[in-house]
Amino acid sequence: MSVLLPRFLRQLRRPLLPAGPPRRLRVPSRASSNGGGGYGGVEGLLRQRRQRRQQNAQAGSSHGPGSRAPPAQNSIVREVIQNSKEVLRLLQEKNPAFKPVLAIIQAGLNITHICLPPESGEDEIIDEILKINEDTRVHGLALQISENSFSNKVLNALKPEKDVDGVTDVNLGKLVRGDAHECFVSPVARAVVELLEKSGVNLDGKKILVVGAHGSLEATLQCLFQRRGSMTMSCQWKTPQLQSKLHEADVVVVGSPKPEDVPLSWIQPGTTVLNCSHDLLSGKLACGSPGEHFSGPITESDVSLLAAALRIQNMVVSGRRWLREQQYTRWRLHCLKLQPLSPVPSDIEISRAQTPKSVDVLAKEIGLLADEIEIYGKSKAKVRLSLLERLKDQADGKYVLVAGITPTPLGEGKSTVTVGLVQALTAHLNINSFACLRQPSQGPTFGVKGGAAGGGYAQVIPMEEFNLHLTGDIHAITAANNLLAAAIDTRILHENTQTDKALYNRLVPSVNGVREFSDIQLARLKKLGINKTDPGALTEEEISKFARLDIDPSTITWQRVLDTNDRFLRKITIGQANTEKGHFRQAQFDIAVASEIMAVLALTSSLKDMKERLGRMVVASDKSGHPVTAEDLGVTGALTVLMKDAIKPNLMQTLEGTPVFVHAGPFANIAHGNSSVLADKIALKLVGEEGFVVTEAGFGADIGMEKFFNIKCRASGLVPNVVVLVATVRALKMHGGGPSVTAGVPLKREYTEENIQLVADGCCNLQKQIQIAQLFGVPVVVALNVFKTDTRAEIDLVCELAKRAGAFDAVPCYHWSVGGKGSVDLAWAVREAASKGSRFRFLYDIQLPIVEKIRTIAQAVYGARDIELSPEAQSKIDRYTQQGFGNLPICMAKTHLSLSHQPDKKGVPRDFILPISDVRASIGAGFIYPLVGTMSTMPGLPTRPCFYDIDLDTETEQVKGLF
Higher local confidence (pLDDT), 2 or 689: 689
Q: Which residue has the higher pLDDT, 44 or 264?
A: 264
Q: What percent of the chain has pLDDT over 90?
A: 64
How much is the pLDDT for 124?
Answer: 86
The Cα-based distances of 88 to 8, 74, 98, 393, 712 in angstroms read 19, 21, 9, 21, 43
Compute the average pLDDT of residues 106-115: 48
- pLDDT bracket for residue 40 (50, 70, 90): very low
Q: In which region does residue 268 sit, left (phi positive, over 0), alpha (psi from -120 to 50) or beta (all else)?
A: beta
Q: Say which range, 54-58, 568-572, 954-958, has the weakest mean pLDDT.
A: 54-58
Confidence tier at 17 by pLDDT (50, 70, 90): very low
What gap in Å lies between CA 303 and CA 221, rounded to an integer? 13
Q: What value does the mean pLDDT take over residues 250-275?
A: 89
Query: How deeply is 740 buried, as exposed, middle or buried, from its count of CB atoms within 10 A (0-12, 13-18, 19+)?
Result: exposed
Which of the 8 DSSP states describes residue 666?
-
Q: Look at residue 373 and tell me whether its pLDDT is greater than 90.
A: yes
| Edge-first strand listing for the sheet containing 272-275 | 231-235, 207-211, 251-254, 272-275
pLDDT at site 104: 64
Among the ranges given (26-30, 239-243, 509-513, 648-652), the one the predictor scored with the smallest mean pLDDT: 26-30
Q: How much is the pLDDT for 294?
A: 56
Q: Which residues contact 206 (CB under 8 A, 6 or more apart)?
A: 230, 231, 250, 251
Q: Which segment of 120-129, 277-286, 481-490, 801-810 scores lowest on mean pLDDT?
A: 277-286
pTM of the full structure: 0.80
Instruction: Of 242, 99, 220, give the one whose Cα is nearest residue 169.
Output: 220
Question: For the sheet containing 102-107, what is the strand order?
Answer: 114-116, 102-107, 140-144
Would you state the pLDDT for residue 374? 97
**pLDDT score recorded for residue 138:** 85
pLDDT (average), residues 492-501: 95
Q: For 585, how many CA atoms within 13 A lie in the half-sphere containing its CB?
A: 15
Q: Above 50 in pLDDT, residue 239?
A: yes
More reliable by pLDDT, 178 or 288: 178
Residues 383-405: what's their mean pLDDT? 96
Burial class (CB in 10 A: 0-12, 13-18, 19+), 835: exposed
Contact 567, 448 (CB under 8 A): no
With bands split at pLDDT 50, 70 and 90, how would you rate the model's confidence at 462?
Answer: very high
Contact 769, 725 (CB under 8 A): yes
Position 278 scores a pLDDT of 54
pLDDT of the residue at 103: 66
The pLDDT, as a whole number, for residue 446 is 83
- Whether the per-residue pLDDT at 827 is higher than 90: the answer is yes
70 or 111: which leads in pLDDT: 70
The pLDDT-based confidence of 64 (bands split at 50, 70, 90) is very low
Segment 462-484 shows an average pLDDT of: 94
Whether 65 has a pLDDT exceeding 70, the answer reads no
Decide if 876 contacts 930 (C-beta within 8 A).
no
Residue 467 has pLDDT above 90, yes or no: no
* CA 950/CA 959 separation, integer angstroms: 7
pLDDT-based confidence at residue 94 (cuts at 50, 70, 90): confident
Compute the mean pLDDT over every residue in the chain, rounded to the nearest whole number. Answer: 86
Instruction: With a cut of 60, say whether residue 66 has pLDDT above it.
Output: no
Per-residue pLDDT at 475 exceeds 90: yes
Q: Stretch 542-569: mean pLDDT, rounded?
A: 95
pLDDT in tens, 900-919: 999 999 999 999 999 999 99
**pLDDT computed for residue 5 by the predictor:** 32
Comparing 28-32, 243-247, 841-845, 944-948, the range with the smallest average pLDDT is: 28-32
- pLDDT interval class at 300 (50, 70, 90): low
d(CA 671, CA 667): 5
Whether residue 105 has pLDDT greater than 70:
no
Quote the CA–CA distance of 338 and 410 in Å, as a whole number. 26
Q: How large is the average pLDDT for residues 296-305?
A: 67
User: Would you say 238 and 211 are in contact if contact means Cβ atoms under 8 Å apart?
Assistant: no
DSSP 276-338: -SS-TTT-----SSTT----SSS-HHHHHHHHHHHHHHHHHHHHHHHHHHHS-------PPP-
- Active site positions, annotated: 414, 416, 438, 449, 668, 699, 787, 816
Task: Please check the confidence at residue 754 and state whether its pLDDT lies above 80.
Answer: yes
CA distances from 666 to 709, 789, 822, 858 (A): 15, 32, 30, 21
Q: For the chain, what percent of residues have pLDDT higher than 70?
A: 87
Per-residue pLDDT tens digits for 644-672: 999 999 999 999 999 999 999 988 877 89
Does position 18 have pLDDT exceeding 70, yes or no? no
Quickly state the pLDDT bin for 952 (edges 50, 70, 90).
confident
Element containing residue 201 per DSSP (H, E): none
What pLDDT is attached to residue 332? Answer: 92
